[in-house]
Amino acid sequence: MKKNYRVDIKPQECKGCERCIAACSRSVLEMSGVLNPMGYVYARYVGSGCIGCRHCYYTCPEPGAITLVECSSPRDSL
């Protein structure tokens, strides 16, 4: 059975460096175009396709900004 994943990014922790976007081989992350409370445009998950490689997690310089969640069904990964 294929596992499904979702990337959770805390907007208030993201500094907009775009390292996670560059590291993502599935292109499931993008810049939101919205400012967080600290004045940075933050990254967000586009809603499907994450394979759980964790490249985004390991490249992010902000501890706790990115969490990878294994979902029980494809709908949970949206």
The answer to whether residue 78 scores a pLDDT higher than 90 is no
21 to 2, 17, 61, 75, 76: CA distances (angstroms): 23, 9, 13, 23, 21
> Could you give the domains of the chain?
4-71 (3.30.70.20)
Average pLDDT in the 18-32 region? 97
Asked if the model's pLDDT at residue 46 lies above 90, the reply is yes
What global pTM score does this model have? 0.88
**For residues 71 and 74, what is the distance between their CA atoms, to the nearest angstrom?**
7
The answer to whether 20 and 43 are in contact (CB under 8 A) is: yes
